[in-house]
Structure 1
Amino acid sequence: MKQSTDPLTWEDAMPRRTPSSLNRSSTTPRHRQARWGVSVAAFAVLAIVGTACSPVESSSDEAGGDQTTSTQDVFGEPADAAQVKAGGTLTVALSADPDKLDPTLSRSLYSRYVFHTMCEKLYDLGPDAKIVPQLATALPTISADGLSLTIPLREGVKFADGGTLDSTAVKVSINRGLTLAGSGRKSELGPITSIETPDPKTVVIKLSKPFAPLTAALADRAGMVLSPAAVDKLGANFSTAPVCVGPFKFASRVAQNSIKVVKDPLYYDAAKVHLDAIEYRIITDSSIRSANLRSGDAQVADSLSTQDAPELQKDSNMTVLQSQSLGYQGLTINIGNANGIGTPTKQLDTPIAKDPRVRQALEASIDREALVKSLFNGLNSVACSPISPKSEFTSDAAQVCPAHDPAKAKELLTQAGVTTPYKVEMITSNNPDSLRLAQALQAMVKEGGFELVIKPVEYASLLDQQDRGDFELLQLGWSGRVDPDANIFNFVGSEGSQNVAGYNSPDVDKLLTDARQSTDQAQRIQLYGQVVTKLQQDDPLIYMYRQRNLTGVSKTVLGVQTYPDGVIRTAFAGLAK
């Protein structure tokens, strides 16, 4: 189950259901009925739980290797030009309809899949999750005081509309991220005071304070460079006909159905592009995505169900790409989002919003280990914080996991003066995998004194409701970023652009600000450990598990790759000869 506030409001929020007309395979999905309910056998596992508070063990998986090991990282390999055809259309089955195809406004992981093909960034991530230049030619040169970053740009680069990429275009794009109403990039870009363009191939970013996460932010949507001509023409409607630099360019979109991009002959490295077009088809039911993959109606399928992945791994015609996500799946509690995101927070008058003991009780009612084992075939991993155990910013403090303890949960509810069972409503996406998770949680938290009422909604409605503050409890997630600031500040910082919980803690704000301004990694690690400790006391978000990025790829196509950032890389793929 992916999230999407990739954010969710978040880009990695859960997918929504697709019209039946999109179910292009005649193959009957296996175990369809089982997907909508949780078996008695599955809940037998829920009783097997440890009560000790201990760090989460990190995975011992290594990158690469044989995919027959079900949890081994398999990123995929670049295409060998001698082994692929020239031309053809690649079909990708997506688990959710991307939101706006505007890098400034987008919050969905699924839009990042499309942006990968048509909107390159100043920087990118490699398979080792290290930052590498893309439209820039080198990592930024940072001044001694940390207040100035100088970025050299590629020369001879053209936008899909024929315009030339230069420092002015970069300035326009970053300023748009800082100023456009509804921008999801503003808090990612930090304390930028000005952007200077001393010459066409050089950008100098000036800051009021040092900002350690900036380079990492420029390796995502904040670093995508938009055509100034298209920005000037379309304004806030840029998503209707987006123009950037990329191997492909936007061709068409049918809402809730498909998106098509076609090869851009103006791309600076067009010789490496083998396909004529890529079509993304929206198929929200994971079993139907897998069926389309097997039938050949799609060559790539994202977000494989952990129920389907093991069988696909055994299929000699398929490859399952996988990596541990940098993000998480969790629950967001509405504490102070009374009038919508971006407005001043206001304490809500409900026990779960007012009293952290009620939120702590909810967390103590959740058996993360049992969820991972019973629902996800052990493919996903327990998560108790927004910092991955594989992150270079992890620590023992960042991986401490509150114990599953239903007795303690009831005790906390009694201390809070709450009558049990305490009723709480949770909105979630209305696809089968999300509902299976919701039903498991519903049964699980009952033992801790909660009555969980499930409110399934369409993905787009879920995003709207969370932004308006029209929810009590929300199940959603985040695909994750390499710098922990991007996994935390936006969602729990009082000025975070995606703080849909309405959480406001001066203590957490100070810790996050100090971490942003520090250039000492050891200090940042210590500060993020303190942030996690505070978040586990206040519980505006309850982190539950870290999903594996599971992508199914037919062996009729070569060169598809998926890195830990979760983005499926198809731009340089080709159909096998």
Structure 2
Amino acid sequence: MSRSSRRGSRRLAAAALAITASMFLASCADNGSSNGGGESADSGSSLKIGMVNEQADPGTPTKGGTLTFSGYSAVTTLDPAKAQVAGATGGSELSAIYDVLMRYDPIGQKFEPKLAQSLEASSDSKTWTLKLRDGVKFSDGTAFDSKAVADSINRYVTNKGPQSSLWASKVASIDTPDATTVVFNLVDPWTGIQSMLATGPGMIVAPSAQQGDQFTPIGAGAFTLEKFAPNEELLLAARPDYYDGAPNIDKLKLISIVGAQPTAEALKTGGIDAAYMRTLTPILDLIESGYPGFVDIPSLGYIANVNMAPGRPGSDVRVRQAMALAVDPETLNTRVNNGKGLPGQEIFQDTSRWHNDVATIGVDPAKAKELLDQAKADGYDGKITFLSIQEPSAQATALAIQAMLNAVGFDAQIEYVTGAGDLVKRMYADHDYDMSTAALSLAEADPYERLYTGIKSGGRNNATGYSDAEMDALLDKLGVATTDDDKKAVLAQIQERANETVPWQVWGNVAALDVWNQNVHGLEQSLDGIVLFDGAWKS
């Protein structure tokens, strides 16, 4: 390999690790923990996906002012090809600059056009035709046309954006028969292109954005860049020439307050106007206090990865099965969340539209001990190390898991690292761990993408080394399913296979909340917790 190739490989590996780290931090840093919370709110099990504390019709929007939004994690890049675009990881912030071709309506459970005018599939779902709206322009005044769309998506793939490998495997070619038409020719039937066009690949950067190594955030969204201090503040100004009319607010200030409780306090005191949150106790408190918002519950939000590399305890399926049978999610929820979380072993809980009636592996300490004894008879010494960060809720999780594993005969030890970044590196880059907390956070819009990248043999986010030919075949089958009924049937089979092969230790879900003050109106939800601000206003 040439020196330049090695440098390029290292840069790509570093970028992939950064993206994985942002996903991990967004997905599971809080573990859904109450952090010792009180008894003032209802049980977390009462949470459902949907709007809470809906506001009455506020009347005619007023103009002007600044809306301040606190995201879950600080924005570090304004390039969609370098960001894991989700509500917890800069998706709302980038949407304000670029907008999206498609939007997911989480209430209607359907995709609808945003910058696009329409997206239509052929009868076999192998050809998708995107029509663009008239009158859309980039903020530099250049035309938002089919060539710009195709070039931006090709740039995303060339720069190996987070979703690029799946896109490249599914999309054979892109045609632009005229200035307002983009035709996607697929390798196989695939509906996931809708999700793609609502996230990173669907955030179209202007042709003038990339000049050599210099990238300037120029998009077709409702706001333009005024100030960007990475990890601190992003200040955007309203575009008077936005295709759907000038936004109601003059400025959009995007920050990230460290800690869920300080974020909630800032909302209550008026220091911020809206926020994205993933910690249970403040979520329940804000809902009980009457704050309007939208609750999302992505699946597989509270799990553990177990390293299946040769020589690791998890390489023996009996050991993985024994761990799953030994750990009671309800007990874990009691010890960590004061009983207010969303515990369970199923991939899709009954809050999800993908829920099925397949039984889970269950909790059975006696059977766990039997399987562990079999593994020990074949030479396993029973030792396993749980990797954890030094944070109260994470420590509570680690201690509870240690106790339940040791109760059936494991010799479980806890190894603490300083922060989540260290844990992510150990798990996703170095693969130097036995077991640790993780998450896949499957989106309700389409769970296929993260299942595929997370457990497919050789998948880019497959941190465990899990490889199963039957599961691979099921994932391929899910990828070409085009109706919800067909997808649900395959997902039920995936649950059955997961019970047998245990790709993860599933402990439950973590709720997320887009929340705002009573004087804030017009925020619009999309998939994965993304908020759209072009219609927002303050009374």
TM-score by length of 1: 0.78
Structure 1 residue 475 corresponds to structure 2 residue 444? no
Alpha-carbon shift at residue 276 of structure 1 (Å): 1.9
Aligned with residue 142 of structure 2, among 157, 160, 163:
163
2:302 match: 329
2:176 match: 197
Alpha-carbon shift at residue 299 of structure 1 (Å): 2.1
**Do the aligned partners of 1:492 and 1:540 also contact (CA within 8 Å) in 2?**
yes
CA gap of 1:554–1:541, structure 2 versus 1, over 3 A, is same
CA gap of 1:377–1:292, structure 2 versus 1, over 3 A, is same
Unaligned segments of structure 2, at least 5 residues = 1-15, 40-44
1:348 match: 310
2-side partners of 1:466 and 1:486: how far apart?
A: 20
2:25 match: 13
1-side partners of 2:212 and 2:56: how far apart?
A: 36
2:155 match: 176
Letter in 1 for 2:509: R
2:113 match: 133
Letter in 2 for 1:308: P
1:343 match: none
1:296 match: 270
Aligned with residue 548 of structure 1, among 511, 515, 519:
511
Q: Deviations over 1:105-133 (max 9, x none)?
A: 32253211212322222211113231111
TM-score by length of 2: 0.83
Alpha-carbon shift at residue 357 of structure 1 (Å): 1.6
> 3-state SS of the aligned residue for 2:185?
strand
Q: Summarize the alignment of residues 487-498 of structure 1 with structure 2, pairs less than 5 Å apart.
A: 487-498=450-461
**Do the aligned partners of 1:184 and 1:498 also contact (CA within 8 Å) in 2?**
no
**Do the aligned partners of 2:307 and 2:313 also contact (CA within 8 Å) in 1?**
no
Aligned with residue 482 of structure 2, among 503, 515, 519:
519
Alpha-carbon shift at residue 199 of structure 1 (Å): 0.4
1:502 match: 465
1-side partners of 2:56 and 2:244: how far apart?
A: 15
Structure 1 residue 366 corresponds to structure 2 residue 327? yes
**Do the aligned partners of 1:559 and 1:572 also contact (CA within 8 Å) in 2?**
yes
2:365 match: 406
Alpha-carbon shift at residue 436 of structure 1 (Å): 4.3
Q: Summarize the alignment of residues 384-399 of structure 1 with structure 2, pairs less than 5 Å apart.
A: 384-387=345-348, 389-397=350-358
1:103 match: 80
1:424 match: 385
Alpha-carbon shift at residue 200 of structure 1 (Å): 0.8
1-side partners of 2:26 and 2:418: how far apart?
A: 10
Aligned with residue 539 of structure 1, among 472, 483, 502:
502
> 3-state SS of the aligned residue for 2:189?
coil
Alpha-carbon shift at residue 167 of structure 1 (Å): 0.9
Structure 1 residue 455 corresponds to structure 2 residue 416? yes
2-side partners of 1:184 and 1:151: how far apart?
A: 19
1-side partners of 2:75 and 2:222: how far apart?
A: 19
**Do the aligned partners of 1:79 and 1:558 also contact (CA within 8 Å) in 2?**
no
CA gap of 1:234–1:297, structure 2 versus 1, over 3 A, is farther
Alpha-carbon shift at residue 99 of structure 1 (Å): 4.9
Aligned with residue 188 of structure 2, among 201, 204, 209:
209
CA gap of 1:446–1:7, structure 2 versus 1, over 3 A, is farther
Letter in 2 for 1:508: M
1:441 match: 401
CA gap of 1:523–1:425, structure 2 versus 1, over 3 A, is same
Letter in 2 for 1:233: Q
CA gap of 1:480–1:7, structure 2 versus 1, over 3 A, is farther
> 3-state SS of the aligned residue for 1:132?
strand
**Do the aligned partners of 1:387 and 1:484 also contact (CA within 8 Å) in 2?**
no
> 3-state SS of the aligned residue for 1:116?
helix
1:253 match: 228
**Do the aligned partners of 1:322 and 1:548 also contact (CA within 8 Å) in 2?**
yes
Moved more, 446-455 or 480-489: 446-455
1-side partners of 2:198 and 2:312: how far apart?
A: 40
2-side partners of 1:92 and 1:436: how far apart?
A: 31
Letter in 2 for 1:201: T
Letter in 2 for 1:476: A
1:287 match: 261
**Do the aligned partners of 1:13 and 1:478 also contact (CA within 8 Å) in 2?**
no
2:283 match: 309
2-side partners of 1:365 and 1:425: how far apart?
A: 15
**Do the aligned partners of 2:27 and 2:301 also contact (CA within 8 Å) in 1?**
no
Letter in 1 for 2:365: P
**Do the aligned partners of 1:152 and 1:202 also contact (CA within 8 Å) in 2?**
yes
Letter in 1 for 2:188: K
CA gap of 1:562–1:268, structure 2 versus 1, over 3 A, is closer
> 3-state SS of the aligned residue for 1:416?
helix
Alpha-carbon shift at residue 372 of structure 1 (Å): 3.8
**Do the aligned partners of 1:421 and 1:450 also contact (CA within 8 Å) in 2?**
yes
Percentage of pairs with the same residue: 24
Alpha-carbon shift at residue 268 of structure 1 (Å): 0.9
**Do the aligned partners of 1:492 and 1:499 also contact (CA within 8 Å) in 2?**
yes
Alpha-carbon shift at residue 565 of structure 1 (Å): 2.9
2:202 match: 223
Letter in 1 for 2:73: A
1-side partners of 2:95 and 2:338: how far apart?
A: 30
Alpha-carbon shift at residue 78 of structure 1 (Å): 9.9
> 3-state SS of the aligned residue for 1:138?
strand
Q: Deviations over 1:432-474 (max 9, x none)?
A: 5444444443444443435241434444444444431344233
Structure 1 residue 116 corresponds to structure 2 residue 116? no
**Do the aligned partners of 2:163 and 2:200 also contact (CA within 8 Å) in 1?**
no
**Do the aligned partners of 2:75 and 2:230 also contact (CA within 8 Å) in 1?**
no
Q: Deviations over 1:490-548 (max 9, x none)?
A: 11112433222232222211111122123354443322222222223222322221222
1:149 match: 128
CA gap of 1:124–1:518, structure 2 versus 1, over 3 A, is same
2-side partners of 1:471 and 1:444: how far apart?
A: 23
2-side partners of 1:552 and 1:518: how far apart?
A: 34
Structure 1 residue 244 corresponds to structure 2 residue 219? yes
